Chains A and B, each alone.
Chain A
Amino acid sequence: MVTVSSVVCPVCGCLCDDLEVEIENGRIIAVRNACSVGEAKFLNYWKHRNKPMVRKNGELIEVSIDEAIRKAAEILAEAKYPILYGWSSTTCEAIKVGLELAEELGGVIDNTATVCHGPSLLAIQDVGYPGFTLGQSRHRFDLVIYWGSNPWSAHFRDLDRYSAFSEGRFQISAWRRAFAKVYARIAAKKMNAASKRTAAKYAVSPPFGSELVDTLLREDRKLVVVDVRRTATAFKADYFLQVKPNKDFELLQAFRVLVKDGELDVDEVAGVPVELMEEVVDVMINCRVGVLYFGVGLTMSKGKIRNIEAAINLTKELNARTKFHILPMRGHYNVTGANVVFAWTTGFPYAVDFSHGYPYYNPGETSVVDILCRGETDASLVIASDPVANFPKKAVKEMVSNPLIAIDPAPTPTTLMADVVIPAAYAGIEAPGTAYRMDHVPISLRKVVEPPPGCIPDEVIVKRILNEVRRLRRG
């Protein structure tokens, strides 16, 4: 049995790199330090693996990997406007080759930001982005706001590894605060009871109110949650603002006015009373360093990119009063990497069209969901993602009506609908490579076990398809 430490978890944007993995007979049998989702991946990766397949007469038939790659290349070389989609659960090295393939084909390449944090990227392009790496959160931030994001259920280790419940050089954990709060409440209850007795006995002024609880709590770090429902994270928060669904934009704009000492003509915004808003604004202005983490609650509710724009503007404006940051909670473990590699190769982070021989970018025009809904493509390659399960119905219908190539370690709805299936090795478990954490820190994924026979790294698969396409097109 072998133990490997400092293993990087290839699941979510937290990209935790402190996992310990035990291997026996070439298989992982135990994992330490991972959350339940990470653990599940490391213990079950070897089950339900794909084989190379090509659809013949309506049926997916197992073939050699060479034949599958050849068929994939034929489909792409013949297509006039193919789309290459996914790229977020694989390595940067594979993405680099994918971009080269898209340029060779003159098609469109897009990554999962297009259905997730694309709006965040678009907002950044309009207004910028005061950001940081996660260690800053641990060390300095004494106000943490989660808006439209529920790390307790989606980025499991975020809170205790990087955020409100972590311990840093200048900050102690909010867990201590949570305990302190409980003790303070007990103490306040005792004091209130005592003072009632005293008041009754000696007819003195009324007992202490909730101010006592607050003054007893001299802890710095505060947690604020803004969401449409009371999430698991909200239960741990000092302030929870329940915002009416699809009204986040209004609430953010109203916050901006209050932060600049302006006045509102209304009593409540998006279901939140203005008095509560004013209290939260006070907390924001008086913090030492604050952060606004946000998730799909903002990017995919009404307003999308403009919700993010308002949130970024709010953060920028808070920097005039104190120090404030913002960060999107990225989902896939390397979607940030996809944006980064796309940007250095083409100048643009996603939705890149190579029809004219150079990169062109216009989300809404060059993003794959829109292209599919307009019925404008004639072939797709999907890698490291599952659009058949996630995309709007109209887009899925269009996608499966054209030739579809799927590259994935395991069967998914996308692979089941594909015309060519190519089995990949799991990046971060069976293949090494670079991935970028949601705060843009690059970390090297490790290979800890060998892939099953016939499964090869994404980078190699895409490279072989590229070589075959070149051979077909250039002769």
Chain B
Amino acid sequence: MSKALLIKNGIVYDPLNGIDGERMDIAVKNGVIVEDVSGKDIEVIDASGMIVMPGGVDIHAHIAGSEVDAGRLLRPEDHIKDVEPKTPYTRSGVGYSVPSTWTTGYRYVRMGYTTVMNPSMPPLEARHTHEELNDTPIIDKATYPLLGDSWFVLEFLSRDMIEECAAFVAWMIKATKGYAIKLVNPGGLETWGFGGNVESIDDQVPYFNITPREIIRGLCKVNKLLNLPHTIHVHTNNLGKPGNYLTAIRTMDCVKDLADGERAIHVTHCQFSSFKGVDWATMESGADAIARYVNMHDHVTIDMGQVIFTDTTTMTADGPFQYGLHLLTGNKWVNHDVETETSSGIVPFRYRPKSIVHAVQWCIGLELALLIKEPWKVFVSTDHPNGGPFFKYPDVISWLMSEKARKTVMKKMRKAALKRTTLPSIDREYTFYEVAIATRAGPAKALGLENKGHLGVGAIADIAIYAINPENVNPSRDYKLIRNAFSRAAYTIKSGEIVVKDGKVVGYAQGKTYWVDVEISDEAMETIKMLGEVFKQYYTVEFENYPIPEDYLAASHRIPRKSGI
């Protein structure tokens, strides 16, 4: 940590500081980027002819917690095909679609990623998420508590008690050591408690006198009041249903007036919410409509949710959607309804290029990224593992950068599928600068992570160096080189430590768990104390046993915020 590092002569892409392929030195000391270093004990990395970028930031990947672990338990047959023997630097483990925690951390840093957000944490089981994050080595991480169906949230919002709701949400985020407000099929998960679902954002949630629209708007207001670093992070209603692109647009639109010139909502894995058509036979891409909306409105960010053609495991908090997937495929199905809060479901799934629907889905993810003009609005993700395993991100990068790469994949698809999407006619190719935005700078900015996603002085020294020379390589033609280079970072530096060399883990750094501590007034605290009695009625655990102490986290990084309540 006290080491000094000098990365010489690399070709730097640092979009947050406007640097687009400049030859520069980057200096690191005490885990942080500094102006320069001097003295004797400096380790020098010769990055000539190589790309230097900030470490990757993944805004949405299911890597820890009860849902992920249930997925691991479900799929021994997925594990045995991809094992990781122990090495002097690494613990053993298993990989593929639901890797063990140690393997997860190692595989991310091998790709040059250094920060990962776990998006689905049932608050009651937050300890589980954090125990797993504690055992996910090297990377920095954070997690989003699921709040869109919490009984307390629904009751406060149905009575328009925004400030009280905000106090509760602030308490919840601190109690669960969370980072952002997550909504999944808002209202739908409570309805699933009795086996039902909602079908539009204006459906009534039974027993609760509230609609999804009101939940989304209410939590958006709460988010603003609490001054949280990220916006509300939303998995829309009607996920995976033909025709749902309208739900996605309505969801984005319903908080437009609350934006105040800033970002107000992040729609995650948007591919799954971008279907046109009325049923599977008529399903087609709605990406152009979504992209048009996003292009015209600045209050929205999205991540792709790109599909990979492989056997993977779907897992989301969207219990009813997952049940539907079980009925569709006949595959084994795990469900987990969490009292008072949320649900989840897990179903193995294979995406095939010859399936018209899967092929269209594959196209939609890329259409979204290519049709949305402003690269700061759309980020790379596969909603790991729902669309595919995260270590396939280099494939996604190659598809973004090369029309030829896309065409190679499209050749495996039926013509009928290609007619249902505009992708064949898109020739846009991402530049390295745009890739840096989509995989690092953009997510970091959307998450409000001030010292990440860039290489300016003061940033945490999370750096990725890739053995590819933009001056010699034509990504459009040489997409395989791109894919290989991004799969095995020449160097990954985490908090100033060299942890990866040539795609192999050679060192260790203690990754931190980021969480937000919102300061609320004493008056607001009174609301929380009064909840104690009702808490006992709703939950089967005691109020005193619910919050997680800070020392539960192996390495805590507390982010204080001042709020408006």
Contacts from A to B (Cβ < 8 Å): 5-6, 8, 17-18, 92, 96, 100, 103, 121, 124-136, 138-140, 161-162, 169-170, 288-289, 316, 319-320, 322-323, 325, 339-341, 343-349, 354, 356-361, 434, 436, 440-444
Nearest to A99 among chain B residues (CB) is: B91
If the complex has contacts A289-B195, A346-B93, are A134 and B540 also in contact, measured as CB distance less than 8 A?
Answer: yes
A-B contact pairs, 28 of them (CB 8 A): A17-B541, A103-B92, A124-B73, A125-B76, A125-B77, A128-B74, A128-B347, A131-B337, A132-B336, A135-B538, A138-B339, A162-B540, A169-B538, A322-B195, A344-B135, A346-B92, A347-B72, A347-B94, A354-B92, A358-B93, A361-B80, A436-B128, A440-B128, A441-B124, A441-B125, A442-B125, A444-B545, A444-B552
The residue from B72, B94, B128, B194 contacting A358, defined by CB atoms under 8 A apart: B94
Task: Please measure, in the bound complex, the distance between the C-alpha atom of A128 and the C-alpha atom of B552, giving whole angstroms.
Answer: 31
B47-83 interface bits toward A, Cβ cutoff 8 Å, 1 = contact, 0 = none: 0000000000000000010101110111111011001
Docked-complex contact A344 and B72, CB < 8 angstroms? yes
Residues of A within 8 A of B541 (CB): 17, 441, 443
The 4 lowest CB-CB distance pairs between A and B, nearest first, are A135-B339, A323-B195, A128-B332, A347-B94
Nearest to A346 among chain B residues (CB) is: B100
Q: Is B309 an interface residue (CB 8 A)?
A: no
Task: Please measure, in the bound complex, the distance between the C-alpha atom of A170 and the C-alpha atom of B340, giving whole angstroms.
Answer: 12
Residues of B within 8 A of A289 (CB): 193-195
Q: Is B537 an interface residue (CB 8 A)?
A: yes
Chain B contacts with A in 214-269, Cβ cutoff 8 A: none
Distance from A298 Cβ to chain B, minimum over Cβ atoms (Å): 19
Docked-complex contact A346 and B94, CB < 8 angstroms? yes
If the complex has contacts A138-B540, A319-B323, are A357 and B125 also in contact, measured as CB distance less than 8 A?
Answer: no
Docked-complex contact B73 and A125, CB < 8 angstroms? yes
Docked-complex contact A133 and B73, CB < 8 angstroms? no
Q: Is B338 an interface residue (CB 8 A)?
A: yes
Docked-complex contact A359 and B66, CB < 8 angstroms? no
Nearest to B543 among chain A residues (CB) is: A6
Interface of B, secondary structure class, is mixed
B95-122 interface bits toward A, Cβ cutoff 8 Å, 1 = contact, 0 = none: 0001111100000000000000000000
Distance from B331 Cβ to chain A, minimum over Cβ atoms (Å): 8
Distance from B71 Cβ to chain A, minimum over Cβ atoms (Å): 9
Task: Please measure, in the bound complex, the distance between the C-alpha atom of A340 and the C-alpha atom of B65, giving whole angstroms.
Answer: 10
Residues of A within 8 A of B275 (CB): none
Docked-complex contact B337 and A132, CB < 8 angstroms? yes
If the complex has contacts A17-B541, A92-B131, A124-B334, are A135 and B323 also in contact, measured as CB distance less than 8 A?
Answer: no
Q: Is B85 an interface residue (CB 8 A)?
A: yes
Residues of A within 8 A of B195 (CB): 289, 319, 322-323
The residue from A8, A134, A361, A442 contacting B339, defined by CB atoms under 8 A apart: A134
Task: Please measure, in the bound complex, the distance between the C-alpha atom of A133 and the C-alpha atom of B124, giving whole angstroms.
Answer: 9
14 A-B pairs besides A129-B333, A134-B540 with CB distance below 8 A are A129-B70, A129-B334, A133-B336, A135-B538, A135-B539, A136-B193, A136-B337, A139-B340, A345-B100, A345-B135, A357-B92, A359-B83, A361-B76, A440-B336
Residues of B within 8 A of A360 (CB): 80, 83
Q: Is B502 an interface residue (CB 8 A)?
A: no
Residues of A within 8 A of B72 (CB): 343-344, 347
Docked-complex contact B93 and A347, CB < 8 angstroms? yes
If the complex has contacts A18-B542, A442-B125, are A344 and B333 also in contact, measured as CB distance less than 8 A?
Answer: no
Contacts from B to A (Cβ < 8 Å): 64, 66, 68-70, 72-77, 79-80, 83-86, 91-94, 98-102, 124-125, 127-128, 131-132, 135, 193-195, 207, 323, 326-327, 331-340, 346-347, 537-545, 548, 552
Task: Please measure, in the bound complex, the distance between the C-alpha atom of A74 and the C-alpha atom of B340, giving whole angstroms.
Answer: 50
Distance from B555 Cβ to chain A, minimum over Cβ atoms (Å): 16
Residues of A within 8 A of B69 (CB): 340, 343-344
Docked-complex contact A343 and B73, CB < 8 angstroms? yes
Residues of A within 8 A of B544 (CB): 5-6
Residues of A within 8 A of B207 (CB): 170
Docked-complex contact B335 and A124, CB < 8 angstroms? no
Docked-complex contact B76 and A345, CB < 8 angstroms? no
Residues of A within 8 A of B336 (CB): 131-133, 440
Task: Please measure, in the bound complex, the distance between the C-alpha atom of A8 and the C-alpha atom of B221, giving whole angstroms.
Answer: 37
Nearest to B129 among chain A residues (CB) is: A442
Task: Please measure, in the bound complex, the distance between the C-alpha atom of A454 and the C-alpha atom of B252, giving whole angstroms.
Answer: 62
Residues of A within 8 A of B539 (CB): 135
Q: Which of B99, B323, B337, B340 has the most CB of A within 10 A?
A: B337
Task: Please measure, in the bound complex, the distance between the C-alpha atom of A67 and the C-alpha atom of B94, giving whole angstroms.
Answer: 36
Residues of B within 8 A of A340 (CB): 69, 128
Distance from A444 Cβ to chain B, minimum over Cβ atoms (Å): 7
Docked-complex contact A443 and B545, CB < 8 angstroms? yes
If the complex has contacts A346-B93, A349-B73, are A128 and B339 also in contact, measured as CB distance less than 8 A?
Answer: no
Nearest to A435 among chain B residues (CB) is: B127
Docked-complex contact B124 and A358, CB < 8 angstroms? no
Task: Please measure, in the bound complex, the distance between the C-alpha atom of A458 and the C-alpha atom of B327, giving whole angstroms.
Answer: 45
Task: Please measure, in the bound complex, the distance between the C-alpha atom of A8 and the C-alpha atom of B545, giving whole angstroms.
Answer: 9
Residues of A within 8 A of B101 (CB): 344-345
If the complex has contacts A161-B540, A345-B101, are A129 and B335 also in contact, measured as CB distance less than 8 A?
Answer: yes
Distance from B207 Cβ to chain A, minimum over Cβ atoms (Å): 8
Nearest to B136 among chain A residues (CB) is: A344
Residues of A within 8 A of B327 (CB): 320
Docked-complex contact B334 and A130, CB < 8 angstroms? yes
Docked-complex contact B337 and A325, CB < 8 angstroms? yes
Residues of B within 8 A of A5 (CB): 542, 544
Distance from A328 Cβ to chain B, minimum over Cβ atoms (Å): 13
Q: Which of A133, A440, A444 has the most CB of B within 10 A?
A: A133
The residue from A17, A169, A348 contacting B79, defined by CB atoms under 8 A apart: A348
Docked-complex contact B85 and A356, CB < 8 angstroms? yes
Residues of B within 8 A of A320 (CB): 327
Residues of A within 8 A of B79 (CB): 347-348, 359, 361
Nearest to B548 among chain A residues (CB) is: A444
Residues of A within 8 A of B193 (CB): 136, 139-140, 289
Distance from A104 Cβ to chain B, minimum over Cβ atoms (Å): 9
Distance from A166 Cβ to chain B, minimum over Cβ atoms (Å): 9
Docked-complex contact B332 and A126, CB < 8 angstroms? yes
Residues of A within 8 A of B127 (CB): 434, 442-444
If the complex has contacts A169-B538, A349-B73, are A136 and B339 also in contact, measured as CB distance less than 8 A?
Answer: yes
Task: Please measure, in the bound complex, the distance between the C-alpha atom of A170 and the C-alpha atom of B195, giving whole angstroms.
Answer: 14
Task: Please measure, in the bound complex, the distance between the C-alpha atom of A443 and the C-alpha atom of B207, giving whole angstroms.
Answer: 29
Nearest to B128 among chain A residues (CB) is: A442
Docked-complex contact A344 and B86, CB < 8 angstroms? no
Distance from A439 Cβ to chain B, minimum over Cβ atoms (Å): 9
Residues of B within 8 A of A136 (CB): 193, 337-339
